[in-house]
């Protein structure tokens, strides 16, 4: 319990320093572009595969269930609500936590174990602004964008099942789907990945900076980073759905 409290306190203060560093110059634009390129394009294929198969699997399961009640025409409506509000943001958050968080923690942890962070400080470079800020800003940009890609791919995958398996009219599928693209669903579908990006960045960078014990410690910190990021994404998803959704459901 003491270790948990100490870790939580350390993460809390680290997050505060990270946010404060965002607004202090200098800003390392080249580092930000590198993060967008490596993490964005590097994660794109994973996001496309995840969205395609998740969307088709989801649509197939619901099409079979709805057909028993003679309500398979509601498939487009259900796909819009479930993908945009829940499945798209959560799947993207978990994929980014698995791939990007591990890379961030391992990179920063390796730099710490080889004393590169101390060398930066000795040369007057703030590691927080050099390493954390570009990765934080990069994830704030990337996670919502990747979520939109996941949503689009998953909905197209759902259309494939609707048109060729469930025999639902393409026009009807897309028209019922578009009817559910209302403010409430779109707002919560963008808010979730925005919040997830902060969680993943804070945990991944903190674990990298706090890693100890050489290469074995870096490996342990990387594993903890992925696990904590994934669990935090799921927990935060529940609280956003429970409280934020209740506040905006009048707009749906």
Give the per-residue pLDDT at 153.
Answer: 94
Range of the domain at 129: 28-246
Cα–Cα distances (Å) from 107 to 101, 104, 221, in that order, read 10, 5, 11
pLDDT tens string, the chain, 252 residues long: the values are 557 777 778 888 888 888 888 888 888 888 889 888 888 888 888 899 999 999 898 888 888 887 777 777 788 888 888 899 889 999 999 999 988 888 899 999 888 888 888 888 888 888 888 888 999 999 999 999 999 999 999 999 999 988 888 888 888 889 888 888 888 888 888 899 999 999 999 999 999 888 887 778 888 889 989 999 999 999 999 999 888 777 766 555
Establish if 21 belongs to a structural domain.
no
Number of domains in the chain: 1
Establish if 6 belongs to a structural domain.
no
Q: CA-CA distance, 157 to 216, in Å (whole number)? A: 42
| Preceding omega of 252 cis (within 30 degrees of 0) | no
Establish if 58 belongs to a structural domain.
yes
Nearest Cα residue to 193 out of 94, 113, 114: 94
Establish if 2 belongs to a structural domain.
no
pTM over 0.85: yes
Give the per-residue pLDDT at 252.
Answer: 53
Give the per-residue pLDDT at 66.
Answer: 78
Establish if 10 belongs to a structural domain.
no
List CB contacts of 133: < 8 A, sequence separation 6 or more.
18, 21, 22, 27, 28
Establish if 225 belongs to a structural domain.
yes
- Write 124-131 long-range contacts (CB < 8 A, 24+): 126/21, 127/209, 128/17, 128/18, 128/21, 129/21, 129/24, 129/26, 129/27, 129/28, 130/28, 130/31, 131/31, 131/205
DSSP class of residue 126 equals -
Give the per-residue pLDDT at 37.
Answer: 86
Structure tokens at 186: 């779109």
Establish if 17 belongs to a structural domain.
no
Cβ atoms of 200 and 100 within 8 Å: the answer is: yes
Q: CA-CA distance, 43 to 138, in Å (whole number)? A: 13
CA-CA-CA-CA torsion sign (37, 82, 198, 22): positive
Establish if 224 belongs to a structural domain.
yes
């Amino acid at each position: 319990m003491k270790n948990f409290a100490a870790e939580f306190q350390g993460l809390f203060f680290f997050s505060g320093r990270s946010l404060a560093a965002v607004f202090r110059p200098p800003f390392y634009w080249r580092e930000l572009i590198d993060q967008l390129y490596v993490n964005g394009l590097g994660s794109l294929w994973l996001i496309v595969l995840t969205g395609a198969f998740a969307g088709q699997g989801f649509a197939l399961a619901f099409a079979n269930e709805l057909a028993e009640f003679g309500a398979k025409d509601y498939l487009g409506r259900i796909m819009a609500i479930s993908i945009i509000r829940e499945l798209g943001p959560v799947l993207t958050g978990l994929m980014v936590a698995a791939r990007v968080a591990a890379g961030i923690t391992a990179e920063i942890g390796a730099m710490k174990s080889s004393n590169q962070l101390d060398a930066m400080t000795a040369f007057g470079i703030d590691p927080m602004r050099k390493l954390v800020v570009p990765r934080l800003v990069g994830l704030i940009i990337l996670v919502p964008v990747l979520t939109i890609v996941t949503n689009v791919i998953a909905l197209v995958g759902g259309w494939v099942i609707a048109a060729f398996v469930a025999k639902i009219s393409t026009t009807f599928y897309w028209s019922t789907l578009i009817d559910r693209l209302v403010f409430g669903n779109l707002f919560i579908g963008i808010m979730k990945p925005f919040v997830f990006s902060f969680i993943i960045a804070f945990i991944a960078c903190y674990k990298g900076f706090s890693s100890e014990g050489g290469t074995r410690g870096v490996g342990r910190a990387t594993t903890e980073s992925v696990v904590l990021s994934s669990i935090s994404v799921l927990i935060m998803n529940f609280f956003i759905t429970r409280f934020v959704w209740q506040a905006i459901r009048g707009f749906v």
